[in-house]
Structure 1
Amino acid sequence: MTILTSKILLQLLLIFSTTRFPIIISTNDQSLVKCHDKDKEILLIFKIGILDSSDCPTSTWSTNTDCCIWEGVTCDNATGRVTELDLNDSRLKGQITLSVLELEYISHVNLGLNDFDAIIIPINIHNITHSSKLVYLDLTIIGIDLNKATNWLQAMAKLPSLLELQLNYCNLSNFMTNPPIEHFNLPSLKTLVASQKNFTSSIPDEFFNCIKNVTYLDLN
């Protein structure tokens, strides 16, 4: 080995010994943090009213699995808190409970295009104020006659950050007067889509005062 070759090898060894190489760790886990116990409890309460079948997403929800891996559920990978619930067109039947609005960090809820036969409002409606981050709620064609439901509009009024509300074909023919319109107070709402087959009541001026920040309105 020549002197020149030895010097080159020595220099290379010196470079490698003084250079720090990053260690890259890869994981396929969608969530490194397990779901929050309170969020899991709320989702399981929601599931109670659903008539489970093997082909619906909630059939994968169980007490012994992490709710962050449940179908239709999205969690924040850093905190394990539920941020989205998407059960759109999932063949769900039974009762829909708005206990999901008690999820503290949820931002999107899509329950549209299902076939529920009743809507259940939490006994303690004040707990819904926890959903201060909810910006999107879709209850389109969920099979429920909201004219016969009570307190649902008061529940909506507990969502201060709600930007978009979808209520297409929920049998709201007289929702301007039942429940009273003063409960319809959504200061952040920008989009309201509530197309119905027919409205049997006129639209009072108070309604437009309640949605003065709305930029898109569809009551076709």
Structure 2
Amino acid sequence: MTVANTVEARCCFKLLYAIVVVLLLHMSSPCIGCSERERQALLALKQGLQGLVGDDGNRLLSWGREAQNKDCCQWDGVYCNNQTGHVVKLDLGEQYLQGKISPKLIHLQHLEYLDLSYNNFSGSKIPDFIGSLSNLIYLNLSNVNFGGQIPNQLGNLTHLQYLDLSSYGYSVVHAKNLNWLPNLSGLKHLDLSFTNLSDVVGWLEAVNMLPKLRNLILQGCNLPPPVISSVSVMNSSKSLSITFRVHCLI
């Protein structure tokens, strides 16, 4: 074998070795995509919701069962963790959807951000099972035409930092008490505008137990007058030293 042939053989061996290494690395690093369980949960959510006819801006149009649409992390409004593939954010705000929210939503157990604002749920109640999405940090259910009583299960969302249940529509959400609210100790933003809180006697005590709260909006809630002792506690609390942006409390 000549020197030239030897050099050529070595080069071919190195090239072959490099190809084998790349293939092995590819085989040991599976492609990250959304899980089948989460994909089916999203498809169930889509089945219960409908957009306006002919609305090309409807994000649900990209949600499909076809092979090319199998990875739900590529669907509009769906965001996944790059390392785990789990769905962590669902943004369906201002899509003018109508219908019902599927209970299979609870299969998105890694969800941190949920925005369903400005859709139409026809006066139905806020689903209790939303309280099972224990990793939620952001929850926006504003102006979605919900009715009925605010479920106490929202108190299970102990990681929540942003909560908006405001409504400027026809259906009115109401509460008999806010006993669930102090459980949300990490809450920084709370908007209950135009929810009916006329029966909530201890609303100020409940708000006062949120040490990180910075934005409080209670416009048009028909709040009863606060207890004088509660006002004193609120004024003297070090945890509430930053001024709230409170609008039209009474």
TM-score, normalised on structure 2? Answer: 0.61
CA shift digits 1:13-36 (9 cap, x unpaired)? xxxxxxxxxxxxxxxxxxx52211
Q: Residues 106, 202 of structure 1: CA spacing in aligned structure 2 closer, same or farther, 3 A cutoff?
A: closer
Q: Distance in 2 between matches of 1:120 and 1:167?
A: 10
Q: Distance in 2 between matches of 1:201 and 1:120?
A: 19
CA shift digits 1:136-169 (9 cap, x unpaired)? 1111101112xx25xx523312211110001111
Q: Which residue of 2 aligns with 1:121?
A: 127
Q: Residues 104, 79 of structure 1: CA spacing in aligned structure 2 closer, same or farther, 3 A cutoff?
A: same
Q: CA deviation at 1:78?
A: 2.3
Q: Distance in 2 between matches of 1:197 and 1:104?
A: 28
Q: Residues 78, 54 of structure 1: CA spacing in aligned structure 2 closer, same or farther, 3 A cutoff?
A: farther
Q: Residues 82, 89 of structure 1: CA spacing in aligned structure 2 closer, same or farther, 3 A cutoff?
A: same
Partners of 2:77 and 2:92 within 8 A in 1: yes
Partners of 2:178 and 2:200 within 8 A in 1: no
Q: Once structures 1 and 2 are overlaid, which stretch shifts more, 194-203 or 111-120?
A: 194-203
Q: Distance in 2 between matches of 1:38 and 1:201?
A: 41
Structure ranking higher on relative contact order (CA contacts 8 Å, 6+ apart): 1
User: RMSD between aligned alpha carbons?
Assistant: 2.7
Q: CA deviation at 1:114?
A: 1.3
Q: Which residue of 1 aligns with 2:178?
A: 181
Q: Distance in 2 between matches of 1:157 and 1:102?
A: 19
Match for residue 92 of structure 1 among 69, 92, 97: 97
Q: Which residue of 2 aligns with 1:141?
A: 143
Structure 1's unaligned 5+ residue stretches are 1-31
Q: CA deviation at 1:119?
A: 4.2
TM-score, normalised on structure 1? Answer: 0.68
Structure 2's unaligned 5+ residue stretches are 1-30, 220-250
Q: Distance in 2 between matches of 1:120 and 1:97?
A: 12
Q: Percent identity?
A: 28
The AA in structure 1 aligned to 2:77 is: G
SS at match of 1:156: helix
**Structure holding more helix per residue:** 2
Q: Which residue of 2 aligns with 1:111?
A: 116
The AA in structure 2 aligned to 1:44 is: L
Partners of 1:186 and 1:210 within 8 A in 2: no
Following TM superposition, the consecutive aligned residue runs of length 4 or more in structure 1 with deviations greater than 6 angstroms are: none
Q: Which residue of 2 aligns with 1:194?
A: 192
Q: Which residue of 2 aligns with 1:168?
A: 166
Q: Residues 102, 202 of structure 1: CA spacing in aligned structure 2 closer, same or farther, 3 A cutoff?
A: same
The AA in structure 2 aligned to 1:182 is: N
SS at match of 2:49: coil
